[in-house]
Amino acid sequence: FWGSVVLHASIVVIAVGGVCTGLTAFSGELALAEGQSVVDSRGAYYAVTREPAIGSAFTGARIGLSEMSVEYHAGQVVSAVARMHAADQAGRSFEKDVSVNHPLDVAGKSYLLLDTGYAVALSLRSELGTADPMVVNLAAETPAGWHDSVALGAAQAGGGMLVAEMTATPAPLGPGEPMPADALKVRDPRLSVTVTSISPTGGPSSVLWEGVLARGQSAPLPAGSLVFEDLGLWNSYLVRGEPARWITYVGFYLCIIGAAWRFAVPERRLVVLVRRSAEGHELAVSRSARPWSFSERSDAAMVSELLRGVGEECLEDPA
């Protein structure tokens, strides 16, 4: 009896957990480059696919990527580990090596490793000095390298916009040479850059400089230069928050306990039917045990005692 009660109660708990999880769940994606950290806020995500109907979507925790390590064997990735650090609003700090199926859990959210690509560190130099380096996550993987573009600002007063088209490789490559099999192992990186001035009036664009840069080299700009500082890696993460999922877990455990209880303790039933007829009294006895019975002999003895007490013949064999 009690096993059935627990088993049916677990179904209710699982249903409640599903509803609560649906009302409080969060899902989004963010990207981090090596050495970069962000606060868990809307601005840190490039995509938010689900926000909770109840509660806050963002925790305010700080998440960072210290470094990314990728190992190859026979041209195949065998290990991709992100050394991450985090601090929640209570001031507690965490460090963890994150890999596929081994996320970072902090402030009720799980950060699962998705993709990896190149991140280029650039800086702009002018007569006023050198600006802080900016990190550009190259989004498109091509046979020639990882490619993307970035706006550098106005070419000059009243002029067009400067745009740098960039393609990064982990090592020097010859014309038409494909990317190496261990593409994410950065050794002696190169950055192919094309600086273009785009007319504000919609006129034709003009190429100001085109070439290949090594670390520390620069491309000339109308009012300074663009310096290739370094090439690292970026990771994208699937971020999920399900603060009410523990309710579903409780229901699941109750289901296991109830099922084990229900089938480990047999259910015994004894039915006795006494009917008056013209010949006297008729007695029918039936017994059952599900799924099995450890007390068959005691049941048979109880039925025999009942028959002797009634003193009538049994219409059916109780066995």
What average pLDDT does this structure show over 34-63?
A: 92
Band (315; pLDDT cuts 50, 70, 90): very low
- For 201, left (φ over 0), alpha (ψ -120 to 50), or beta? alpha
Instruction: Say whether both 138 and 271 belong to one domain.
Output: no
**Mean pLDDT, rounded, for 48-70:** 91
Q: Is the pLDDT of residue 309 over 50?
A: yes
For residue 116, give Cα distances in angstroms to 68, 97, 176, 268.
9, 15, 24, 61
Dist. CA 11–CA 17, nearest whole Å: 10
Torsion angle of C-alpha atoms 198, 202, 204, 206, degrees rounded to 10? -10
Distance between CA atoms of residues 122 and 64, nearest Å: 20
How open is the CA angle 192-198-200, to the nearest 5 degrees? 160
Q: How far is CA 98 from the centre of its chain?
A: 11
Q: What is the pLDDT of residue 316?
A: 45
Q: Look at residue 258 and tell me if it is in a domain.
A: no
One domain for residues 182 and 316:
no
Mean pLDDT confidence for 109-128 = 88
Q: Which of 216, 247, 179 is nearest to 9 (CA)?
A: 247
Q: How far apart are CA 197 and CA 10, in angstroms?
A: 66
Residue 259 is assigned to a structural domain of this protein: no
Whether residues 203 and 270 fall in one domain: no
Q: Are residues 11 and 53 in the same domain?
A: yes
Task: Clarify whether residues 241 and 108 are in a common domain.
Answer: yes
Which residues are bridge partners to 267 per DSSP?
290
12 assigned to some structural domain: yes
pLDDT given at position 318: 45
Type of residue at 160: G
Say whether both 145 and 222 belong to one domain.
yes
**pLDDT averaged over the chain?**
83
Calculate mean pLDDT across residues 186-199: 88
Note the pLDDT of residue 305.
67
Please, are residues 120 and 126 in contact by the beta-carbon 8 Å criterion? no
The region, left, alpha or beta by phi > 0 then psi within -120 to 50, assigned to residue 23 is alpha
79-83, 210-214, 243-247: range with lowest mean pLDDT: 243-247
Are both 280 and 293 inside the same structural domain?
A: yes
152 and 102 within one domain:
no
pLDDT digits (tens, 9 = 90+) for 157-171: 556 788 889 999 998
Are 13 and 102 members of one domain? yes
More confident residue, 155 or 173: 173
- For residues 134 and 61, give the distance between their C-alpha atoms in angstroms, rounded to a whole number: 23
Measured distance CA(232)–CA(275) in Å, rounded = 90
Quick: pLDDT tens for 1-42.
677 888 889 999 999 988 988 898 999 999 999 999 999 999
Q: In the chain, how many domains are there?
A: 3
Domain contains 261: no
Structural domain including 305 reads 266-319
Q: Supply 77's token pair.
A: 């990735």
pLDDT at 297 exceeding the cut of 70? no
- pTM of the entire predicted model: 0.72
Find out whether the peptide bond into 291 is cis, omega within 30 degrees of 0.
yes
User: Is residue 241 a part of any domain in this protein?
Assistant: yes
Q: What is the pLDDT of residue 314?
A: 45
Contact by Cβ (8 Å): 136, 146:
no
- Is pLDDT larger for residue 130 or for residue 245? 245
Task: State what percent of residues in the chain have pLDDT above 70.
Answer: 79
Is residue 291 included in any domain, yes or no? yes
pLDDT digits (tens, 9 = 90+) for 255-290: 888 888 777 776 666 676 767 767 766 666 666 666
Predicted pLDDT at 303: 65
| Residues 294 and 152 placed together within one structural domain of the fold | no
Do residues 48 and 57 make contact, with C-beta atoms less than 8 angstroms apart? yes
Q: Is residue 151 part of a domain?
A: yes
Residue 40 is classified by DSSP as S
| Backbone dihedral angles phi then psi of residue 250, each to the nearest 5 degrees | -60, -45
In a domain, 89, yes or no: yes
**Amino acid at residue number 1:** F
* Mean of pLDDT values over 37-53: 92
